[in-house]
Amino acid sequence: MFNPSDNMSLAIPLPHGLDESDPPSSVEALSPSSIIEPDSEPSDGAESCNTSTKSVNQSIFEYIRENGRTYHRYQAGTYPFPNDQPESERLDLQYEIMKVLFRGRNFYAPLKNPKKILDIGTGTGKWAIEMGNQFPSCEVTGTDLSPIQPEWVPNNVRFVIDDANEEDWMISPNSHDYIHTRVLLGAFEDFREIIKKSFRYLRPGGWMESQEYMSTLYCDDGTMDSNYAFAEWTATQDKAAMTMGRPLRIANKLKRWYEQAGFVDVHEEIYKLPINSWPKDPQFKMLGRFNETNLLDGLQAFSLQLFQKGLGWTKDEIEVYLVQVRKALSDRNVHAYHKIFVVWGRKPEEGEPSTS
Ligand SMILES: C[S@@+](CC[C@H](N)C(=O)[O-])C[C@H]1O[C@@H](n2cnc3c(N)ncnc32)[C@H](O)[C@@H]1O
């Protein structure tokens, strides 16, 4: 029998002693309150290292071509990152990294026998497929602008080409048990609108959850100078994204936005994700090594449209600039990390007061 997850697993091992059926009761080891100890060794110790649509026609597959990359055709120009094979492979790697970081979990909200799950901006649909396998009696829908999801998926999983900016999500209000978003920084002009719409489409008592990269770089031990090229790139990308009206720094605001939208029981967990293999701890070292690959693979994709359209740079200028950024990103003397925010909250039951 065909099992999509067998085919797509990148086989990054889960933390010791954990598997998917064994979600952790504590996140202490990976929590931001703990300082990650750098590895003093010069080497990092590596060996070597059934898509359905909303009646949109074939033209959604005629992708926009720019600079040797492809971009979504449906609502063309609204999402500034590519949708081609290299980007899909990067998304799948990123999925595995987050799964290890979350110690095998796909979600944090206390789900009890959900019947309808929606994944906004599902990408390659890996998360939606895993949720479909985990909850066989639940209908899982993933929506996206790009038809980049696999054709063979569990019976209870479907993908729909749909723009989450639309007011009407083609589903009934108060109908869903759980709405999920992951890594949607830079995708929307105002992510609060997505939270508000999710609130409307959730049933009373239903949960929303967002798992989000914070684009800012952090460092706890002073090894990141003010002229560190990767941090400089981050600031430049941020400026470009703001010019384009696609803010990147949304992760640290999600909790407040959830509460403002009316969610209750709003929780926030923050994880540290090293940018390369600088940590001593083997688990963090492995996460850092895979994150370095993820970032190196994504750097051109993250820069091209934003820097060209937001800052007026040429492709050549961008490529030349990225050479030093890549070098900086792989510098293990700089102990930098990203923060990954997980926020989840519940739509109040009928008659239950909300927090705002
Ligand atoms: C960085 S990817 C993340 C994909 C997936 N959530 C994951 O974690 O792998 C962002 C996805 O959001 C989709 N997206 C962007 N704007 C969207 C919109 N307005 N409506 C629906 N999907 C959108 C993009 O096409 C892309 O696949």
Domains defined for the chain, CATH in brackets? 52-346 (3.40.50.150)
Ligand 1 atom nearest residue 98's Cα: 8
The per-residue pLDDT for range 305-338, each reduced to its tens digit, is 999 999 999 999 999 999 999 999 999 999 999 9
- pLDDT value at 55 more than 70: no
d(CA 274, CA 259): 29
Contact at 8 Å (CB) between 122 and 142?
yes
Strands (E), the chain: 64-66, 69-71, 116-120, 139-144, 157-161, 176-182, 202-219, 264-274, 336-346
23 confidence band (pLDDT: 50, 70, 90)? very low
Q: Which residue puts its alpha carbon closest to atom 13 of ligand 1?
A: 121
In which residue are the tokens 């492809």 written? 70
d(CA 121, CA 125): 9
Whole-prediction pTM: 0.89
Ligand 1 atom nearest residue 94's Cα: 9
DSSP string, 78-120: SS-S--SHHHHHHHHHHHHHHHHHTTT-S--S---S-SEEEEE
In the chain, pLDDT over 70 holds for what percent of residues?
A: 86
52 confidence band (pLDDT: 50, 70, 90)? very low
Pocket test for ligand 1, best of 88, 93, 141, 144 (most atoms within 8 A of CB): 144
Question: How is residue 150 annotated by DSSP?
Answer: -
Pocket of ligand 1 (CB under 6 A): 72, 78-79, 91, 94-95, 121-123, 143-146, 163-165, 182-184, 187
Give the tokens for residue 224: 């990141």
Ligand 1 centroid to residue 123 C-alpha, Å: 5
pLDDT mean over 261-273: 98
- pLDDT value at 159 more than 90: yes
Strands 202-219 and 176-182 come out as: parallel
Ligand 1 centroid to residue 44 C-alpha, Å: 33
β-sheet bridge partners, residue 207 = 178, 346
Query: Can you give the pLDDT at residue 183?
Result: 98
d(CA 144, CA 121): 5
Query: Can you give the pLDDT at residue 33?
Result: 61
- pLDDT value at 13 more than 60: no
Ligand 1 centroid to residue 187 C-alpha, Å: 7
Query: Can you give the pLDDT at residue 46?
Result: 59
Query: Can you give the pLDDT at residue 60?
Result: 87
Ligand 1 atom nearest residue 146's Cα: 25
- CA dist list (Å): 216 to 90, 138, 199: 20, 36, 28
Q: Which residue puts its alpha carbon closest to atom 24 of ligand 1?
A: 121
CA end-to-end span of the chain, whole Å?
Answer: 49
40 confidence band (pLDDT: 50, 70, 90)? confident
Ligand 1 centroid to residue 248 C-alpha, Å: 13
The per-residue pLDDT for range 95-105, each reduced to its tens digit, is 999 999 999 99
Query: Can you give the pLDDT at residue 35?
Result: 86
Ligand 1 centroid to residue 76 C-alpha, Å: 13
> Which residues are within 8 A (CB) of 33 and not within 5 positions of it... i.e. 6 or more apart?
none
Query: Can you give the pLDDT at residue 123?
Result: 98
Query: Can you give the pLDDT at residue 202?
Result: 98
Query: Can you give the pLDDT at residue 115?
Result: 98
The backbone torsions φ and ψ at residue 86, rounded to the nearest 5 degrees and listed phi first, read -60, -40
Q: What angle do CA 12, 215, 85 make, to 5 degrees?
A: 50
Q: Which of 10-19, 77-86, 153-162, 267-276 has the lowest mean pLDDT?
A: 10-19
Ligand 1 centroid to residue 2 C-alpha, Å: 26
Mean pLDDT rounded to a whole number for the chain:
89
Q: Which of 26-40, 137-151, 205-219, 275-289 has the lowest mean pLDDT?
A: 26-40
Q: Which of 39-53, 108-122, 170-184, 298-312 has the lowest mean pLDDT?
A: 39-53
Ligand 1 centroid to residue 181 C-alpha, Å: 9
pLDDT mean over 115-134: 98
